[in-house]
Amino acid sequence: MSVNSNHQENKKICCIGAGYVGGPSMTMIAYKCPNLTIEVVDIDEKRIEAWNSENLSNLPVYEPGLSDIIKKVRHKNLFFSTNVKEAIASADIIFLSVNTPTKIKGVGSGKASNLEYLERSVREIACYSKGHTIIVEKSTVPVKTAETIKSILFSYLSKDSSNLKTYSIISNPEFLSEGSAIKDLESPDRVLIGGDDIEAVNQITDIYKKWVPVEKIIKTNLWSSELSKLAANAFLAQKVSSINSIGVICEETGADINEVAKAIGSDSRIGQKFLNAGPGFGGSCFKKDILSLVYICNFYRLDEIAKYWENVINLNDWQQDRISKLIIQKLFGTIQGKKIAIFGFAFKANTNDTRESPAIKISRNLILEGAHLNIYDPKVNEEKIETELRHSLSSSVNKEFKSTWVKNNSIEDSVKDADAVVILTEWLEFSEIKWKHLVGLMRKPSWIFDTRNILNKKDLEDLDINIWINGQDLKN
């Protein structure tokens, strides 16, 4: 499947998948490469309508800075549509940015990646592509997924010996951090391009060279590129679980996690990033990618390595259960009928993404104990919260489900008559709250549970409220 000797510049790009990866990534490429025409396609009509909305606050992805760039390139050299067939047929380069969730049934369920959407997209490419096409894996995929892609494509080519279609497969995983995706795209730590076809690799490299320093572009073989993405997320998730484990020790011994994290992070070998104690990692990648890594290890009978990475997830789950139990314990051992204000439902600040958010499991645990939740998040809408909670409570949900929580539009509404506030997302506005007024709206005795460690306990000492801050000993 080598590239033709034709050296003409590729000017048409199709991206299959208009989600958190495809939308922002193609927006940045369109902005930096005005000579390229890019069409982002998706079968979800509502999602495409949202990307094309004149009201930029309705974009399906919230990322600081995204709407500003969308305004500059949309309908110029960036287009969003449901015309999958036409976009594939006219494309020189196709980016695969489809969802690859963890399988929920069948062989490998709970660990292996579900490649249903990717396979469907590759079959469409095989049917509708023309001439030579470079296919770029942008989604996070298991190692050796490129073999699957090649196998599908070859099976279609073999049906017609006169078929003049050819393909090159490239791995170009994203390393975006939600909440700072635009910054990450504009000034990436590195761009990873894996492939065996040098000319195809160079064509993708030429795109990024428009704004990324060449020394930050790393070229590897396909398998190294695919594994590097999984490994990077696994290492970051491990760091989160590690600092949370140290935070629990701090609470028991009188140490302060902020001071310990500063001391640890000052070591250049470790670094300061991902050393904030919290309710555990969330998002679309960390858990999914570690589970994929565990599945690979099990497949190759690397059982001890599989257990090692599995424990990173186990500790993350334990942290969320620990926080839930601590809230119940502090509220006299029962929260039946009590109002609890949940501050933040997104898995992190500056995004409206709720996938695998710690808020889901903690909220679920509190609902099952009989609490009524007042949920406030500045970017997550009611529909998304309901979807996440209903799925999480699927085995326990009943007709009274909606009466167990309410979405509030203001901080004040959420704390009225509440017994406790639980900060689950580190939104800036939560660290700037004037608590004196809010405390007066709550039922006594009341609590603040700061799972994100964003409050300064000295600012709250004179208030008539009890405080728990993650990783700090507040007994003294």
Active site residues: 285
Sequence-distant (6+) residues with CB within 8 A of 10 are: 36, 92, 93, 134, 203
Q: Distance between CA 197 and CA 133 in Å, rounded?
A: 12
Strand order in the sheet with 217-220: 78-81, 37-41, 12-16, 93-96, 132-137, 166-171, 191-194, 217-220
**Of the candidates 279, 411, 348, the residue with the CA atom closest to the CA atom of residue 62:** 348
**How far, CA to CA in Å, does 114 sit from each of 86, 122, 244, 292, 356?**
26, 14, 30, 10, 17
Q: Do residues 33 and 25 make contact, with C-beta atoms less than 8 angstroms apart?
A: no
What stretch of H or E contains 51?
helix 45-51
Dihedral over Cα of 445, 446, 451, 457: its sign: negative
**Structure-derived torsion over alpha carbons of residues 200, 206, 212, 216, reported in degrees to the nearest 10:** 40
Q: First CA to last CA across the chain, in angstroms?
A: 68
Secondary structure (DSSP) of 79-102: EEES-HHHHHHH-SEEEE----PB
Q: Do residues 111 and 103 make contact, with C-beta atoms less than 8 angstroms apart?
A: yes
297: tokens are: 């290890």
- Find the angle CA(401)-CA(279)-CA(475) to the nearest 5 degrees: 110
Q: Distance between CA 156 and CA 106 in Å, rounded?
A: 26
Secondary structure (DSSP) of 460-471: GTTSSSEEEETT
Q: Distance between CA 126 and CA 113 in Å, rounded?
A: 22
Burial of 348 (0-12, 13-18, 19+ CB in 10 A): buried
399: tokens are: 């007709």
